[in-house]
Amino acid sequence: MIKISELKFGDIVSAEYDGQQREGMVKDINREDKEVCVETGVQEFWYTPDHLYPVPLNDEQMKRLGFTQTENGNGSVKYVKDSFRVLLPQKGNFSQMEIWWREDHRYLNQPIHVHELQNHYYQMTKVELMPAAAH
């Protein structure tokens, strides 16, 4: 379950309907009725927060979001999208990361989900972070 307060337009989530989960993008939020409209590629549908789940951040998701990856000689990995950077001290380990854009540096010491990275990106750059195909 995801708190509705964590979500914004464009966030990637997993929505459950009839026992099946599909990844989709938040299209609208009705905070009064506590419902979120998610486009799953099949349909747009309104979901309550108890039917929405976070999507784990991993290499595949980073690439979907348009980041390019560079492996460093010390075992660390840097993901780059324009001037935004994500540094993993250990390749494939998304439990610790440093993210930065210009003078704004953030150190995250726990795994985050795709929608949380999207929200950090937006807070830092004022630009929405969408999957590469969604532009």
Strand runs (DSSP E) across 5-103, as ranges?
A: 12-17, 20-30, 35-39, 44-47, 52-53, 68-71, 77-81, 84-88, 97-101
Residue ranges of domains in the chain: 4-53, 59-129
Give pTM, 2 decimals. Answer: 0.92
pLDDT for 76-106, tens place per residue?
Answer: 999 999 999 999 999 999 999 999 999 999 9
pLDDT for 22-78, tens place per residue?
Answer: 999 999 999 999 999 999 988 899 999 999 999 999 999 999 999 999 999 899 999
Q: What is the CATH number of domain 4-53?
A: 2.30.30.140
